[in-house]
């Protein structure tokens, strides 16, 4: 037995973060549910304001044209009409502010979870968050597409932040807005407990752009294409080209509309006119930056668009919503990026930087490897490990935490780099292992998988393994603790 099947406090925190963004509940408090509500009631809210405004205008005209005897009555009617209009305006403004606050605070939580007070700890925190997201997916089941749809926005946002840092380090950022903010102060928060100005002005907008990049799909017109008139179509089916193009157009237009009219700008709380002016200017610049990020991500020409587009392509493979996605295809996500770079859909330079950062094996991926003895010779067994660090020296040699030792699962794994020559994902390595007898391979498999139903469909020489069940045990969820 491996102890309690439950979520650690950190895993629960990530689960709650995901639910704050994409969820389906009666409370309808997630960002996507709020957007859906906004789109559904947009026309009604607009008509209500127009109707009440016309009522005020009519009352004003009647008062101006009325005689002395009914002036008091008309004045009272005007005041009532103005009160109703003001109340509606305030109600809609409050709803708008709620959406803004929800989006900002969720983005703030994401930045604080993925970053720290220095670059190294930030990389560790981001690897932990990315790995946890992947390990929350069983990578099988009838509801997998829905689950992947929920996990993807957070994943994209974290990758966008790390790509930003990588490009800053590589001196590939030429955007004046980003460089000006970088020159003003430190990149990270001094304590890691609150946001630095750079995080407020650059990281938060990038996260917001990543989170709402596909929020226009919540619009009724988009939902009609995805689910059909009666809502009975598979929204994850392969769309006809005409449908796909219409959907892309609707998503783009409605996402920008939501940014400007559904979220808008933050409200200043205070009494200083100078502070208010500075606050409003900053808010306008942030919104403009988000707009540039979203606009350029369609067909990226500048770095802003690539900060969203490259993570979007990568995440679409890692958290695929296609029927029966294969766990074995996850390391091929980087090949998809390289292909996109070849046809110049994305920058080859930025793609190279991204792959150097993530490596070819995603965080949380289950690696099967051949361990060595004290003399450096290959042993006649394989063990399990999990990818748990960014920026590998060799993108084909992932930095992992061991999950088994002597074919026994343990929670005190050690860090190691798994080279190609010992990684069973590669066919050349599996050929080396082919000399091991089937009986020995069955013996190894029986020790790692006690359930016959579980192991009867597994390869005798597995190219990878699925750590989902392993990660379900609370004591195995701290893969990113400091190495012994």
Tens-place pLDDT, residues 23-38: 987 778 999 999 999 9
Euclidean distance between CA atoms 382 and 422, whole angstroms: 9
pLDDT of residue 460: 83
pLDDT-based confidence at 3, cuts 50/70/90? confident
Distance CA 484, CA 465 (A): 24
* pLDDT greater than 80 at residue 458: no
Between 459 and 218, residue with greater pLDDT: 218
Q: CB count, 10 Å around CB of 173?
A: 19
Say which residues have a Cβ less than 8 Å from residue 265's Cβ, sequence separation at least 6: 100, 280, 283, 284, 287
Where is the domain boundary, 59, 87, 105? 105
Higher pLDDT pick, 413 / 482: 413
Picking from 186-195, 246-255, 413-422, which range would have the lowest pLDDT averaged per residue?
A: 186-195
pLDDT computed for residue 71 by the predictor? 85
Verify that 313 and 435 share a domain, yes or no.
no
First-to-last alpha carbon distance for the chain, in angstroms, is 24
Residue with the larger pLDDT of the pair 128 and 63: 128
Band the pLDDT of 192: cuts 50, 70, 90. Answer: confident
Average pLDDT for 98-118: 97
Adjacent-strand bridge partners of 415: 401
Per the domain annotation, does 249 fall within a domain? no
- At 17 the pLDDT is 98
Average pLDDT over every residue of 452-477? 83
Paired with 405 in beta bridges are 408
Q: Of the candidates 36, 44, 96, which has an alpha carbon nearest to the alpha carbon of residue 220?
A: 36
For residues 294 and 374, state if they share a domain.
Answer: no
336/201 same-domain check? yes
Q: How many Cβ atoms are within 10 Å of 3's Cβ, its own excluded?
A: 10
Task: Using pLDDT thresholds of 50, 70 and 90, give the confidence band for residue 336.
Answer: very high
The answer to whether residues 311 and 427 belong to one domain is no
- Mean predicted confidence (pLDDT) in 341-358: 97
User: Do 140 and 81 share a structural domain?
Assistant: no
Average pLDDT over residues 87-100: 97
Whole-Å CA distances, 366 to 28, 138, 322, 349, 371: 35, 12, 21, 29, 15
Across the range 286-291, mean pLDDT stands at 97
Mean pLDDT of 223-236: 95
Is residue 462 within 8 Å of 424, Cβ to Cβ? yes
pTM of the entire predicted model? 0.95
205 & 336 share domain: yes
Question: Phi/psi class of residue 344: alpha, beta or left (left: φ > 0; alpha: ψ in -120 to 50)?
Answer: left
| Residue 397 pLDDT grade (very low, low, confident, very high; cuts 50, 70, 90) | very high
Q: Above 60 in pLDDT, residue 454?
A: no
**pLDDT above 60 for 450:** no
Residue at a domain's end among 297, 326, 358: 358
Q: Do 198 and 63 fall into the same domain?
A: no
Q: What pLDDT score does 241 carry?
A: 96
Q: Could you give the CA distance from residue 187 to residue 324 in angstroms, rounded to a whole number?
A: 41
Number of domains observed in the structure of the chain: 3
Q: What is the mean pLDDT of residues 458-472?
A: 90
Mean pLDDT of the chain: 93
Q: How far apart are CA 366 and CA 240, in angstroms?
A: 35
Considering the domain architecture, whether residues 377 and 448 belong to the same structural domain is answered as: yes
For residue 1, the model assigns a pLDDT of 47
Same domain, yes or no, for 76 and 179?
A: no
Q: Over 60: is that where the pLDDT of 484 sits?
A: no
323 & 456 share domain: no
Question: Worst-scoring range by mean pLDDT, 216-225, 321-330, 362-371?
Answer: 321-330
Give the whole-angstrom CA distance, residue 360 versus residue 225. 35
The string of pLDDT tens digits covering residues 173-187 is: 989 999 999 998 789
Q: Sorting pLDDT into bands at 50, 70 and 90, what band is 191?
A: confident
Pick from 63-77, 197-211, 415-429: least confident? 63-77
Q: Based on the fold, state whether residues 93 and 159 are members of the same structural domain.
A: no
Determine the pLDDT at residue 385. 97
Question: In the numeric block, which tokens belong to residue 123?
Answer: 């990389």
Domain that holds residue 275: 115-213+265-358
CA–CA distance, 210 with 216 (Å, rounded to integer): 12
d(C-alpha 253, C-alpha 245), whole Å? 12
Q: 224 lies in a domain?
A: no
Q: Taking phi first (over 0 means left), then psi (-120 to 50 degrees means alpha), and beta for anything else, what does residue 181 get?
A: alpha
**Mean pLDDT (whole number) for 302-306:** 94
Print the SS3 string covering the chain. CCCCECCCHHHHHHHHHHHHHCCCCCCCCCHHHHHHHHHHHHHHHHHHHHHHHHHHHHHHHHHHHCCHHHHHHHHHHHHHHHHHHHHHHHHHHHHHHHHHHHHHHHHHHHHHHHCCCCHHHHHHHHHHHHHHHHHCCCCCCCCHHHHHHHHHHHHHHHHHHHHHHHHHHCCCCCCHHHHHHHHHCCCCCCCCCCCCHHHHHHHHHHHHHHHHCCHHHHCHHHHHHHHCCCCCCCCCCCCCHHHHHHHHHHHHHHHHHHHHHHHCCCCCCCCCHHHHHHHHHHHHHHHHHHHHHHHHCCCCCCHHHHHHHHHHHHHHHHCCCCCCCCHHHHHHHHHHHHHHHHCCCCCHHHHHHHHHHHCCCCCCCEEEECCECCCCCECCCCEEEEECCCCCCCCCCCEEEECEECCEECCCCCEEECCHHHECCCHHHHHHHCCCCHHHHHHHHHHHCCCHHHHCCCCCCCCEECCHHHHCEHHHCCCCCCCC
Confidence (pLDDT) at 457: 62
Give the span between the Cα atoms of 435 and 174, in whole angstroms.
54
* Strand 464-465 with 366-369, pairing: antiparallel
Query: 115-172: per-residue pLDDT in tens?
Result: 999 999 999 999 999 999 999 999 999 999 999 999 999 999 999 999 999 999 999 9
User: Cβ(383)–Cβ(402) under 8 Å?
Assistant: yes
Residue 188 has pLDDT above 70, yes or no: yes
| 456 or 470, which is more confident | 470
Residues 318 and 462 in one domain: no
Q: Which of the residue ranges 67-81, 271-285, 302-316, 446-460 would you say has the lowest mean pLDDT?
A: 446-460
Task: Check residue 56 and give its pLDDT.
Answer: 95
> Which of 105, 124, 141 corresponds to the end of one domain?
105
């Amino acid at each position: 037995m491996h102890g309690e099947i439950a979520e650690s406090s950190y895993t629960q925190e990530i689960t709650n973060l995901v639910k704050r963004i994409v969820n389906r509940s009666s409370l309808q408090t997630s960002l996507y549910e709020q957007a859906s509500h906004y789109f559904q009631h947009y026309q009604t809210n607009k008509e209500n304001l127009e109707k009440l405004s016309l009522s005020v205008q009519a009352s004003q005209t009647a008062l101006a044209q009325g005689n002395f005897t009914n002036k008091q009555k008309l004045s009272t009617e005007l005041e009532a009409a103005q009160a109703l209009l003001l109340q509606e305006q305030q109600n809609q403004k409050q709803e708008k502010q709620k959406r803004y606050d929800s989006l900002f605070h969720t983005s703030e939580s994401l930045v604080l979870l993925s970053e720290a007070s220095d670059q190294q700890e930030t990389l560790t925190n981001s690897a932990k968050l990315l790995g946890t997201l992947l390990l929350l997916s069983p990578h099988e089941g009838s509801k997998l597409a829905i689950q992947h749809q929920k996990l993807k926005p957070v994943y994209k946002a974290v990758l966008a932040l790390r790509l930003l840092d990588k490009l800053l380090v590589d001196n590939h950022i030429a955007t004046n807005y980003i460089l000006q903010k970088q020159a003003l102060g430190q990149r990270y928060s001094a304590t890691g407990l609150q946001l630095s100005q750079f995080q407020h002005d650059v990281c938060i907008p990038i996260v917001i752009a990543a989170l709402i990049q596909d929020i226009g799909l919540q619009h009724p017109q988009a939902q009609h294409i995805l689910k059909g008139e009666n809502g009975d179509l598979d929204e994850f089916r392969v769309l006809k080209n005409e449908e796909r193009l219409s959907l892309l157009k609707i998503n783009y237009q409605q996402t920008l509309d939501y940014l400007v009219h559904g979220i808008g700008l933050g409200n200043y709380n205070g009494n200083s006119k100078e502070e208010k002016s500075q606050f409003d200017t900053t808010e306008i610049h942030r919104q403009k930056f988000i707009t540039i990020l979203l606009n350029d991500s369609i067909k990226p020409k500048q770095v802003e668009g690539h900060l969203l587009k490259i993570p979007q392509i990568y995440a679409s493979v890692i958290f695929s919503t296609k029927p029966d996605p294969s766990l074995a295809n996850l390391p091929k996500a980087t090949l998809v990026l390289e292909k996109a770079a070849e046809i110049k859909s994305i920058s080859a330079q930025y793609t190279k930087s991204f792959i150097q950062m993530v490596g070819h094996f995603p965080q949380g991926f289950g690696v099967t490897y051949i361990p060595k003895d004290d003399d450096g010779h290959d042993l006649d067994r394989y063990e399990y490990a999990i990818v748990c660090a960014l920026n590998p020296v060799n993108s084909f040699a992932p930095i992992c935490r061991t999950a088994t030792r002597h074919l026994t699962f343990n929670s005190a794994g050690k860090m190691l780099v798994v080279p190609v020559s010992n990684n069973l994902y590669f066919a050349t390595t599996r050929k080396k292992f082919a000399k091991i007898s089937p009986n020995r391979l069955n013996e190894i498999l029986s020790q790692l998988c006690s359930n016959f139903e579980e192991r009867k469909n597994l390869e005798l020489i597995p190219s990878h393994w699925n750590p989902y069940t392993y990660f379900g045990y609370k004591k195995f969820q701290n893969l990113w603790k400091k190495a012994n």
